[in-house]
């Protein structure tokens, strides 16, 4: 009779154990905040005693088909930053501070070199976000993924004191809309980008027009993590609210934070479209499709009172971030039903 084993089916327990050991080594070097119980059944995290009435805020996300760009470039050391960013940037919109992160990596057969690169990126992202990589799961699915292919998902939890969460946001006519620069396409719209590359037979090594970087390098640029500047703006009472511009672009994300009696008037003439998005648009993507698919250069849209412009600019300068005044909030009139009205063009 033929003998069966888990390893013969394509799953290596020994390699998985070695990977956990490697993760511990990475975290001991990368993590500013000490993790607990990596390799155990569950991660442990004590909530700060100074938070009297803690409310937990959670977000989960992935990096989409940006993974295909990472695979083609054989560059896996920054995709983990993307994974962390997509979760923590959602959490900070609520004013909550991210406290821990967990990841899920699924692959056909674990490649230790690729796996280590991915985890290093996640650890760097957690450092940038000021949170702990508390644990995760690495799953081998033989016969499901092609060689060296993998998928990623992440989950983050933040905390906020209930008294801070209960503070009402008072948005009003004349409040300013300011776009805070992105680091590129972040982790959205890559299926469209990849279709353009395939249909037009464009190499990732091609130089991006009006740029010194290749298209590939521009596309693999990790998602910017906004935790420190956004929470600083909130803590100084400069920022009323903000919108994380991810899938759906500004068209679908900005209305989520605007009250029903107001609409956003955005002047596209002021919009500074970076070379990457100019190139994408030049490939035949209409303006509205751009605005509902990509961040188009602004990963966060901040809403502030006019009187706080100087304070806002000083704070962003501290974090070496650029911004652009792109519009303002206006009172809705009877003939206006939309949440966003655009003037001018990109």
pLDDT digits (tens, 9 = 90+) for 230-277: 999 999 999 999 999 999 999 999 999 999 899 999 999 999 999 999
Quickly state the pLDDT bin for 5 (edges 50, 70, 90): very low
Question: Can you give the pLDDT at residue 2?
Answer: 64
Q: Is the pLDDT of residue 290 over 80?
A: yes
Segment 68-79 shows an average pLDDT of 96
Q: For residue 10, what pLDDT is reported?
A: 54
Report helix, strand or coil for 158.
strand
DSSP state of 109: S
Nearest 5°: the CA angle 50, 164, 250 is 130
pLDDT at 216 over 60: yes
pLDDT at residue 231, as a whole number: 97
Closest CA to 194 of 72, 62, 61: 72
pLDDT higher than 60, residue 35: no
SS3 107: strand
Spatial strand order in the sheet of 323-331: 239-244, 298-304, 176-181, 323-331, 262-267, 340-343
Q: Predicted confidence band at 59 (pLDDT cuts at 50, 70, 90)?
A: very high
Counting residues of the chain whose pLDDT is more than 70, the rounded percentage is 88
Q: Can you tell me the mean pLDDT for 103-110?
A: 91
**Nearest CA among 304, 300, 305, 307 for reference residue 322:** 300
Query: Is pLDDT of 226 > 80?
Result: yes
Residue 112 has pLDDT above 90, yes or no: no
Mean pLDDT of 319-331: 97
| 124 touches 193 (CB < 8 A) | no
The confidence score (pLDDT) of residue 147 equals 83
Q: For residues 319 and 231, is the Cβ–Cβ distance under 8 A?
A: no
Domains of the chain in start order, with CATH, are: 7-165 (3.30.1330.10), 176-343 (3.90.650.10)
pLDDT of residue 262: 94
pLDDT of residue 19: 52
| Whole-prediction pTM | 0.89
The radius of gyration of the chain's CA atoms, rounded to the nearest angstrom, is 22
Check whether 212 has a pLDDT greater than 50: yes
Mean pLDDT (whole number) for 47-67: 92
d(CA 215, CA 220): 9
Is the confidence at residue 49, as pLDDT, over 90? no
* Mean pLDDT of all residues in 205-222: 95
């Amino acid at each position: 009779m033929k003998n069966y084993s888990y390893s013969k089916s394509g799953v290596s327990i020994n390699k998985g154990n070695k990977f956990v050991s490697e993760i511990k080594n990475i975290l001991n070097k990368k993590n500013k905040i000490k993790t607990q119980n990596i390799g155990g059944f569950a991660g442990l995290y004590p909530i700060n005693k100074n938070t009297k009435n803690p409310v937990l805020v959670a977000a989960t996300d992935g990096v989409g088909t940006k993974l295909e760009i990472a695979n083609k470039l054989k560059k896996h050391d920054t995709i983990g930053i993307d994974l962390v960013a997509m979760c923590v940037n959602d959490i900070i919109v609520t004013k909550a501070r991210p406290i821990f992160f967990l990841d899920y990596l699924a692959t056909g057969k674990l490649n230790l070199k690729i796996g280590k690169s991915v985890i290093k990126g996640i650890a760097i992202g957690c450092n940038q976000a000021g949170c702990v990589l508390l644990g995760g799961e690495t799953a081998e699915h033989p016969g499901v993924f092609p060689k060296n292919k993998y998928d990623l998902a992440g989950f983050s939890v933040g905390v906020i004191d209930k008294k801070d969460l209960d503070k009402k946001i008072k948005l009003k006519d004349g409040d300013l809309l300011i776009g805070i620069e992105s680091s590129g396409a972040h982790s959205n719209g890559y299926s469209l980008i990849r279709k353009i590359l395939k249909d037009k037979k464009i190499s990732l090594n091609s130089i991006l027009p009006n740029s010194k970087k290749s298209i590939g390098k521009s596309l693999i640029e990790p998602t910017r993590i906004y935790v420190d500047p956004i929470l600083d703006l909130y803590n100084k009472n400069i920022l009323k609210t903000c919108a994380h511009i991810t899938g759906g672009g500004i068209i679908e994300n900005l209305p989520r934070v605007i009250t029903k009696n107001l609409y956003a008037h955005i002047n596209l003439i002021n919009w500074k479209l970076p070379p990457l998005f100019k190139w994408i648009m030049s490939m035949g993507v209409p303006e509205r499709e751009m605005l509902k698919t990509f961040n188009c250069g602004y990963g966060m849209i901040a809403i502030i009172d006019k009187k706080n412009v100087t304070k806002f600019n000083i704070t962003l300068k501290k974090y070496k971030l650029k911004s652009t005044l792109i519009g303002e909030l206006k009172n809705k009139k009877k003939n206006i039903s939309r949440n966003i009205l655009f003037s001018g063009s990109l």
